[in-house]
């Protein structure tokens, strides 16, 4: 059944677990997520970016999510707009029937230019005002995602700041977070702690200097009743990088956010954990392997099935590690 983000995250906080929020762009991802949730008995957050809407088209995306609700009516499911960068994007998501929107006012409408605190408060508060009248939840973001190693945001396409960021921008300030939540009344707050979108987060396994889990503890201590959200939280499994490269890929050395560190975040108020890249890596590895092992195969169902299996296993692992399994 369709539920709001607030409903799921309140339950997660009460029972001390976290929820992976997987990005969805196509049928294979949707099926992988739903099969994993069904097998593990987990509540589901599926989220669509503006890029997903451009790729699949709004009606297809909407109906993918509605199909999930129809086939798995016993699972609570949130339809979430990921990284809305304008009031219009959030409004359109509500019109499409989404039960949750992210108003990401940390970046301008281009999804690239860092904004100021006052702009962020103003636009987020406005979205909260109309979303709440529709029973729709709102996630806000304070702080700019980016690498504490390089000062860069990571991905060139999609959502991410361009140009060099300063260290302070990339770590959400606990006092400012408290003021932001009070001023906007958001249901969940995305924070910046050194993660970034995409496969290239860290050039070495992260340490306390590059992945600021301690900052989560400080924000949670100041805002114990606010649901925190971690973006850029793919773990970038080394075995998938190895497989992709074994079958002709060219992915340089790179590291993601270890699952154990996410679990530590969940102990300190993180309730929603955004994951897109790990499913991309699993799908790419599985399809490369299928092509390598069976070069005469031309039925897309055969190799796409391999991608569904691979993505489903990633989803199962995250539902289990974050404590969401059995909570549906
Ligand atoms: O914001 C980052 C998510 O991974 C979505 O990526 O904008 O390429 O769909 P996208
Ligand atoms: P990853 O690129 O680490 O999967 O992050 C996804 C995300 O934050 C979507 O909003
Ligand atoms: Na989001
Ligand atoms: Zn994100």
Identify the pLDDT of residue 156: 74
In a domain, 273, yes or no: yes
In a domain, 171, yes or no: yes
Query: How many angstroms is it from 194 CA to the middle of ligand 2?
Result: 13
Enclosing domain of residue 298: 5-321
Mean pLDDT within 141-158: 91
Q: What is the CATH number of the domain that holds 74?
A: 3.20.20.70
| Cβ of residue 158 lying under 6 Å from some atom of ligand 1 | yes
In a domain, 271, yes or no: yes
In a domain, 326, yes or no: no
In a domain, 328, yes or no: no
Identify the pLDDT of residue 224: 98
pTM: 0.98
Task: Supply the residue whose CA is at minimum distance from atom 8 of ligand 1.
Answer: 158
Identify the pLDDT of residue 327: 98
Q: Give the chain's domain count.
A: 1
* pLDDT greater than 90 at residue 79: yes
* Residues annotated as part of the active site: 82
In a domain, 266, yes or no: yes
Label residue 217 by pLDDT band (50, 70, 90). very high
Ligand 1 atom nearest to CA at 158: 7
Flag whether the ipTM exceeds 0.85: yes
SS3 letters for the chain?
A: CECCHHHHHHHHHHHCCCEEEEECCCHHHHHHHHHHHHHHCCCEEEEECHHHHHHHCHHHHHHHHHHHHHHCCCCCEEEEEEEECCHHHHHHHHHHCCCEEEECCCECCCCCCECCHHHHHHHHHHHHHHHHHCCCEEEEEECCCCCCCCCCCECCCCCCCCCCCCCCCCECCHHHHHHHHHHHCCCEEEECECCCECCCCECCCCCCCCCCHHHHHHHHHHCCCCEEEECCCCCCCHHHHHHHHHCCCCCCCCECCCHHHHHHHHCCCEEEEEECHHHHHHHHHHHHHHHHHCCCCCCHHHHHHHHHHHHHHHHHHHHHHCCCCCCC
Task: Supply the residue whose CA is at minimum distance from atom 4 of ligand 1.
Answer: 276
| Cβ of residue 274 lying under 6 Å from some atom of ligand 2 | yes
In a domain, 119, yes or no: yes
């Amino acid at each position: 059944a369709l539920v709001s983000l607030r409903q799921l995250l309140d339950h997660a906080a009460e029972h001390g677990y976290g929820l992976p929020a997987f990005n969805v762009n196509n049928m294979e991802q949707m099926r992988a997520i739903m099969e994993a949730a069904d097998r593990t008995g987990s509540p589901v957050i599926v989220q669509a970016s503006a890029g997903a809407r451009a790729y699949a088209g709004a009606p297809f995306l909407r109906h993918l999510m509605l199909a999930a609700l129809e086939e798995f009516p016993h699972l609570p499911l949130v339809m979430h707009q990921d990284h809305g960068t304008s009031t219009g994007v959030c409004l359109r998501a509500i019109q499409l029937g989404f039960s949750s929107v992210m108003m990401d006012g940390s970046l301008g409408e281009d999804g690239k230019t860092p904004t100021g605190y006052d702009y962020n408060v103003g636009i987020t508060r406005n979205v909260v005002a109309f979303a709440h009248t529709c029973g729709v939840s709102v996630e806000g973001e304070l702080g700019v995602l980016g690498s504490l190693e390089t000062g860069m945001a990571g991905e060139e396409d999609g959502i991410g700041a361009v140009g060099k960021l300063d260290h302070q921008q990339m770590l959400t300030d606990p006092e400012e977070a408290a003021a932001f939540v009070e001023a906007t009344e958001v249901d969940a707050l995305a924070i910046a702690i050194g993660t970034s979108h995409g496969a290239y987060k860290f050039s070495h396994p992260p340490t306390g200097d590059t992945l600021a889990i301690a900052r989560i503890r400080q924000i949670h201590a100041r805002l114990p009743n606010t649901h925190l959200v971690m973006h850029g939280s793919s773990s970038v499994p080394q075995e998938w990088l190895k497989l992709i490269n074994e079958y002709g890929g060219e992915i340089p050395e790179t590291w993601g956010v270890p699952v154990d560190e996410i679990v530590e975040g969940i102990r300190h108020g993180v309730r929603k954990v955004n994951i897109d890249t790990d499913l991309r890596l699993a799908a790419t590895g599985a399809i490369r392997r299928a092509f390598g092992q069976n070069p005469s195969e031309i039925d897309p169902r055969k190799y796409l099935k391999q991608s569904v299996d691979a993505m489903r296993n990633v989803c199962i692992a995250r539902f289990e590690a974050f404590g969401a399994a059995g909570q549906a």
